[in-house]
Chains A and B, each alone.
Chain A
């Protein structure tokens, strides 16, 4: 039985894997920390919804690197856009500030110079501008675009490379 005075916290991911993590790591997850504080003295296992074992692997990697002062070496390059987005969602759920900022920056880098349609698709945002509204905003901001700029695209069917 893991008691609250033990150094390890058990976290159970959505896919059923149990991770025993150091208390210090659990502390970086504000969501988990809140659960621990609210629960009874002896909490056995904390379920973390929306977080899968492959997310936990990366979270533990990041933690180990930052403890060693090497957090800059952490990379999410190998993740494709959807995997990065899911990871971001998981980290957001767990409320881990530093890692969230790292991932946000990674998303920013990937969105750089992409069209409006791409951004919508990436975040799953619906375009609920009326054509009139959209045209009005475009007109107000026309000054920001040079002649040879790629205009902000509305066509969501344009695929990025």
Chain B
């Protein structure tokens, strides 16, 4: 049942001879290749283009850069889909796999992938398993053993991942620079130690809600992962100044989230202030902090753009004045909601001090 082309759209004034051929064999593939690279084209649309014609099919397949991403975000039946995709030759050099909030992906799928698609994952650099709550250490072992070149690994909100999972990761993947284990509540100091000992070049680390960590584990990280640019300790309230003070070792730090650091004192914050390159600092609910600590931060971190003091009752207008002296040109986000010690914190008053302020609320 060959389908006939319907009458072709009325053409522009007839092109010169040979133009049709140029159009089909050169222009169209060129245009479609650029179309394929455009951010507005999602995976489904991209793959749909393979069905347009055999010539286009071959042309698009031969363009490797088009096939470096597999995106199954929020898909169902993700495990089987992933296996089907990885069985196709065009994904042999896939660099990024996104399974964020996908469902129906379990250890068995990852084990099967290791058996059947091992070669296809050798180039993988980024793996996102955020929210894939059925995956355990076993699955992590299987999948990490396939991707020695992995640089970015994210497995947010998975309580089945334990220190064992981290052991497999550091054993199999030696080049990780971006690690997100936010919400993996069962990770302990032992896991932190594994990360510290194996990833000296780590740049970004998210330990949100890893509530089993203590000063012991954090200190190991701070002493060994000296290249860290981003550190997220949101809602891990067990640390004390003993560890916080060592944050100053991270000279490249630009992003630091200490939301909920109830034990952080002014002394601790003064040490942290030595990280002069901080751009983003979240001190939400750091209830022991007062003007002393914030002023130290203000005077040292002159590139600060994002600051939250939400819920800190011990700070007054004095710290805002200090902040304004050194960071009035850079601050664009400032949350002082609940800071009852600050009298002048209406929108207008804040804009007086920080003319570029755009965002007044970070914490809900």
- A residues apposed to B, CB below 8 Å: 14, 49-50, 52, 82, 85-86, 88-89, 92, 101, 104-105, 107-109, 111-113, 115-116, 119-131, 133-134, 137-138, 140-147, 149, 152, 154, 156-157
Within 8 A of A (CB), among B1-43: 1-3, 5-6, 8-13, 15-16, 19, 23-24, 27-28, 30-32, 34-35, 38, 40-41, 43
For the complex of A and B, the 3 pairs showing the least CB-CB separation, nearest first, are A108-B35, A143-B81, A143-B84
CA gap between A107 and B8 in the complex, in Å: 19
Q: Which residues of A contact B56 (CB under 8 A)?
A: 125
Q: Which of B21-78 contact A (CB under 8 A)?
A: 23-24, 27-28, 30-32, 34-35, 38, 40-41, 43-45, 47-54, 56-57, 75-76
Q: How far is the CA of A111 from the CA of B82 in the complex (A)?
A: 27
Between-chain CB contacts (< 8 Å), 26 pairs: A82-B10, A92-B27, A101-B34, A105-B34, A108-B41, A112-B40, A112-B41, A121-B6, A122-B9, A123-B32, A123-B52, A124-B11, A125-B24, A127-B3, A128-B53, A130-B2, A131-B1, A138-B51, A143-B80, A143-B82, A143-B84, A143-B85, A146-B44, A146-B75, A154-B3, A156-B6
Given contacts A125-B28, A131-B1, 13 further A-B contacts (CB under 8 A): A49-B16, A50-B19, A52-B13, A89-B19, A89-B23, A116-B52, A119-B49, A119-B52, A125-B52, A127-B5, A152-B51, A154-B51, A156-B3
B28 to chain A: which residues have CB within 8 Å?
123, 125
A141 touches B41 (CB 8 A): no
Write the chain B residue with the least CB distance to A151: B48
Indicate which residue in B12, B15, B16, B38 contacts A105 across the interface (CB closer than 8 Å).
Answer: B38
Contact B48–A152 (Cβ < 8 Å): yes
CB distance from B364 to the nearest CB of A (A): 32
Compute how far the CA of A154 lies from the CA of B1 in the bound complex, rounded to whole angstroms: 12
Q: Which residue of B lies closest to A144 (CB)?
A: B47
Smallest CB-CB separation from A101: which chain B residue?
A: B34
B51 close to A134 (CB less than 8 A): yes
CB atoms of B12 and A128 under 8 A apart: no
Residues of B with C-beta under 8 A to A127:
3, 5, 52-53
Interface size on B, residues (CB 8 A): 47
Contacts of A126 in B (CB 8 A): 5, 53
Chain B residues 103 to 135 lying within 8 A of chain A, measured CB to CB, are none
Using CB atoms, name the residue of chain B closest to A149. Answer: B44
List B contacts of A121 (CB < 8 A).
6, 8-9
How far in angstroms is the closest Cβ of chain B from A57? Answer: 16
Does B53 contact A129, Cβ atoms closer than 8 Å? Answer: yes
Q: How far is the CB of A159 from chain B (nearest CB, A)?
A: 10
Cα of A133 to Cα of B55 in the assembled complex, Å: 13
**Who on chain B is nearest to A129 by CB?**
B54
B347 to chain A, nearest CB (A): 32
Chain B residues within an 8 Å CB radius of A52: 13
Distance to closest chain A CB from B185 (angstroms): 31
Complex Cα spacing A141 to B80, Å: 12
Task: Please tell me which one of the listed residues B9, B50, B85 contacts residue A137 in the complex, with CB atoms under 8 A apart.
Answer: B50
CB distance from B92 to the nearest CB of A (A): 14
Shortest CB-to-CB span from B131 to chain A, Å, is 17
Q: Which residue on A lies nearest to B24, using beta carbons?
A: A125
A82 B75 Cβ-Cβ under 8 A = no
Measured in the bound complex, the distance between the Cα atoms of B8 and A82 in whole Å is 12
- Contact: A146 with B76, CB < 8 Å? yes
Which B residues are in CB contact (< 8 Å) with A138?
51
What A residues does B54 contact at CB under 8 A? Answer: 128-129, 133
A106 to B216 CA separation, bound complex (whole angstroms): 55
Residues of A close to B47: CB separation below 8 A: 141, 144
A80 to chain B: closest CB distance in Å?
Answer: 11
B28 nearest CB across to chain A (Å): 5
**Interfacial chain A residues near B27, Cβ < 8 Å:** 88-89, 92
Question: CA separation between A156 and B265, bound complex, in Å?
Answer: 69
A97 vs B13: C-alpha distance when bound (angstroms) = 24
Q: A141 CB to closest chain B CB, in angstroms? A: 5
Known: A145-B44, A149-B44. A107 touches B31 (CB 8 A): yes
How many Å lie between the Cα of A88 and that of B28 in the bound state?
10
Chain A residues near B12 (CB-CB < 8 A): 82, 85-86, 89
